[in-house]
Amino acid sequence: MTDPCLLPATALAALFRSGALSPVEALAALEARIARLNPLLNALVARAPEAAEAARASEARWRAGTPLSALDGVPFSVKDNITMAGLPCAWGSPLYAGFVPEVDELPVARLRAAGLVPLGKTNVPEFTLQGYTDNTVYGATRNPWNTALTPGGSSGGAVAAVAAGLGPLALGTDGGGSIRRPASHAGLIGLKPSPGRIPRCDGLPAILLDCEQIGPIARTSADLTALLHLLAPADARDPASLALPAFAPPATPPRLRIRYVARYGANPVDPEIAANCAAAAQALAALGHHVEDAPPPFDQDEVNAIFGAIGQSGLAWLLGTLPGNPSPTAEPLRQMAAAGRALTGAQVFGALDALAGYRRRMAEFFQTTDLIMTPAAAALPWPATETHPPEIDGQPAGPRGHAVFTAFANLAGSPGIALPCAPSAAGLPIGFQLVGASGADALLCAIAAEWEAAHPWADRWPAL
């Protein structure tokens, strides 16, 4: 039989169902692979001591024919800004290094209740506010495709674990692209859902408001969809979830109107990313979708201004709730916090009012266009301990130059999914994103399945 570590979650569950493999055996294989590879990658930073007990309980349920869900016994990891009872939740910062929550955030609780096996926590940058994964608590996480490079961030530990076969499923968060960009750097599929699609409660302070959502990371579209089925039911403790329909991807998506945005103004894009994402746009057109090249339907300066004000004020507020109003460790975050402390209440309110207007305009845009397609990231992965690439395509790039394509979806309250396309000449993964109207999560999962059937990627593995 194929190494269980190299099997998708849905394939593992099928073997559990048939009795050809047990959750205990699958976990044992994963434990051995984690012991061998995690020291190279630093993806998992805290291990769940209850994993073995959870695997034994799942094995007993499968033998009795009473699984708790279709994914009972499948291992999963949890990003270290999502609370998990009994495990440290450092949020990448010494300021939270001693924090051990007593309850699971709701998505973690749901996966435990569905019988999945928790592996532990995955690494993040400080306060999950940067696009790489390094911190003074746990150190840098490395990309399985080239361990000298970053997997991106802030869900860098999550994607490194799944890409390396250290568990088939991960929970990440995406406040400005923090699932979609790392997924593109690791050759995976990742979804930033609509607000409420995955209900949240009992978690860390929401310093990015509802722009940040918990989302699934997986190797295949079937895995991602199966995981989302477990996470998506509404919960009254997250009122946004009550307004959404039941999660039900169509078997075949309709032919869609897709606006392909190749670049934002003068922001540079790596030539291989530009070429391979353009080829993916043509391939979507070949599947029968109407794809047109056009500029973005929003002003990038407005997006940057709103996103900056929310992040700065949110970080400043969080620090103000801690004893002594401390400063972060990372210098870029110190600057961010200082900018947030300098904002007036009127300026923050103005940013929120601008956000509301932006959401109305984007909702109107999606009345006549189904999806926006862009590259998921503007740069290929860069050295693991550097915050960002200083240049892209020979042009200077600031701290967010690699991340220009993603935050518009968070501000719009839109779901966005990252899908692999052809890799670079050196074998580094490249991904594109599709963004739809609020509530279009099921549609994105359906088109992901269609894309994967036509252009499969799951057999691509890093040479570790």
Residue 88's H or E segment, with its range, is none
Instruction: State the catalytic residue, choosing from 79, 93, 414, 438.
Output: 79
Q: Quote the DSSP letter at residue 127.
A: G
List, in sequence order, every beta strand (DSSP E) within 25-175: 44-47, 75-79, 117-122, 169-174
Instruction: State the catalytic residue, choosing from 58, 77, 154, 221.
Output: 154
Backbone CA torsion sign across 406, 412, 417, 419? negative
Catalytic residue flag (residue 178): yes
- CA 283 – CA 260 distance, rounded (Å): 12
- CA 247 – CA 239 distance, rounded (Å): 16
CA distances from 243 to 194, 199, 379, 458 (A): 11, 11, 37, 34
- CA 149 – CA 380 distance, rounded (Å): 9
Query: Which phi-psi region, left, alpha or beta, contains residue 65 (left: φ > 0; alpha: ψ -120 to 50)?
Result: left
Phi, psi (deg, nearest 5) at residue 172: -120, -175
Closest by alpha carbon to 89, among 101, 71, 78, 102? 101
Closest by alpha carbon to 144, among 225, 219, 79? 219
- CA 26 – CA 316 distance, rounded (Å): 44
Catalytic residue flag (residue 79): yes
Closest by alpha carbon to 12, among 166, 110, 22, 171? 22
Q: 134 and 141 in contact (C-beta within 8 Å)?
A: yes
- CA 393 – CA 183 distance, rounded (Å): 21
Which amino acid is present at 154?
A: S
Residue 417's H or E segment, with its range, is strand 416-420
Q: Quote the DSSP letter at residue 6.
A: G
- CA 256 – CA 206 distance, rounded (Å): 34
- CA 95 – CA 205 distance, rounded (Å): 14
Strands 371-375 and 431-436: antiparallel
Instruction: State the catalytic residue, choosing from 22, 155, 178, 313.
Output: 178
List the structure tokens of 123.
């690494």
Phi, psi (deg, nearest 5) at residue 371: -140, 150
- CA 139 – CA 156 distance, rounded (Å): 12
Q: Which residues are catalytic?
A: 79, 154, 178
